[in-house]
Structure 1
Amino acid sequence: MPRRDFEDDPNAPKANSLVPAASVVVVDSDGRVLLQRRADNGMWALPGGKMELGESLGDCGVREALEETGIHIEITGIVGTYTDPGHVFAYDDGEVRQEFSICLLGRPVGGELRISDESSEVDWFTPDEVDCLPMVTSIRKRVNDWRCGRFPVIR
């Protein structure tokens, strides 16, 4: 389902849902970050998605990384919480979701890169390569927080 991101846009539609979600900065032994090009908006992003009933936040991050990238990961820490009410996602079905994401830190433990119905490309990037990729502001913020060693608790 296509999605459009609005960040601090006075013309953004009003949020009508709040869904807990996890994203993961997955870093390999060479210091590269795992990213996917989202099928719904064409932008590069961290693996992640909404938390399902019956799973922990860590389990959500592990599941989403595997589903979207083919990489098995383990969670090693937390980058921060991102709950900006000025950032909403509008979906074609009428849902307008307020951001509510906990960004975790992880490392790969197996698997092979593959795309999914949610990703059109998946690859590893050095932190410098990330700077040139099209990415929504909130995802770039998470990557930059990790890169700079800033691990905000509340955002």
Structure 2
Amino acid sequence: MAEGYVMDLRKKIGHVPMVIACASLIIYDENRGILLQKRADNGKWCYHGGSVEPNEKVEEAAKRELYEEVGLKAGKINLYTVASGTEQHFFYPNGDEVHIVDTVFTCNDFSGEILLEESEVLDCQWFAFDNLPEDILIATRGPILSFCKEMLQKKADRK
């Protein structure tokens, strides 16, 4: 997790469980598939996102996180889902425990060149909607699988 509001709170409360608001982006291209990043803290694949700062709109947070993590700028984004519950209970390698409420957007309107924030991201790759990596972060697995299934259905319906 990057420095900011949540990290400031952690200095005061330690590793106790927190409910945090997050915002994320599923970046996709109908031909290339879905763009996933490999986290530096646990080596799992996921979409792009992070915690929302005070007074920040979730749309702004999702775009900011994308730019900070992989250097891409998002244009128009669309609300996809809000993920919460058991799958969003997460332990960071440092022992911090969170219950995430993640507002997930989709975006195929983006620009820039991929430039990894190496302290957070080990790799960033395109995956075909029907050929995803096995080691997807549990907190992002549900939305990723649902989105890819929908995209595959759209392709099948066009035939």
TM-score range, shorter chain: 0.7 to 0.9
Whether the 8 Å CA contact 2:72–2:113 is kept in 1: the answer is yes
Q: Percent identity?
A: 23
How many pairs were matched up? Answer: 137
Query: Residue 63 of structure 1: SS of its match in structure 2?
Result: helix
Which residue of the partner structure matches residue 102 of structure 2?
A: 101
The answer to whether structure 1 residue 25 and structure 2 residue 26 are counterparts is yes
Whether the 8 Å CA contact 1:113–1:123 is kept in 2: the answer is no
Unaligned runs of 5+ residues in structure 2 are 2-14, 152-159
- Provide the C-alpha distance between the structure 2 equivalents of 1:92 and 1:25, rounded to a whole number of angstroms: 24
- Provide the C-alpha distance between the structure 1 equivalents of 2:80 and 2:142, rounded to a whole number of angstroms: 11
Query: Residue 100 of structure 1: SS of its match in structure 2?
Result: strand
Amino acid at match of 2:62: G
Query: Residue 136 of structure 2: SS of its match in structure 1?
Result: coil
Structure richer in strand, relative to its length:
1
Structure with larger Rg: 2
Q: Which of 102, 121, 124 is 2:123 aligned to? A: 121
Whether the 8 Å CA contact 2:89–2:139 is kept in 1: the answer is no
Structure 1 residue 79 displacement after superposition: 1.7
1:55-110: per-residue Cα shift (whole Å, max 9, x none)? 11000110111111111112431221111046422235543101211111112421
1:19-42: per-residue Cα shift (whole Å, max 9, x none)? 100111111252521110000110
- TM-score, normalization: structure 1? 0.77
The alignment's C-alpha RMSD in Å is 2.3
Whether the 8 Å CA contact 2:51–2:61 is kept in 1: the answer is yes
Which residue of the partner structure matches residue 139 of structure 2?
A: 138
Higher deviation after alignment, 110-119 or 83-92: 83-92
- Provide the C-alpha distance between the structure 1 equivalents of 2:48 and 2:139, rounded to a whole number of angstroms: 13
Structure 1 residue 50 displacement after superposition: 0.3
Which residue of the partner structure matches residue 110 of structure 1?
A: 111
Specify whether residues 121 and 114 from structure 1 end up closer, same or farther in structure 2 by C-alpha distance, changes over 3 A only: same
- Provide the C-alpha distance between the structure 2 equivalents of 1:133 and 1:115, rounded to a whole number of angstroms: 22
Unaligned runs of 5+ residues in structure 1 are 2-13, 151-155
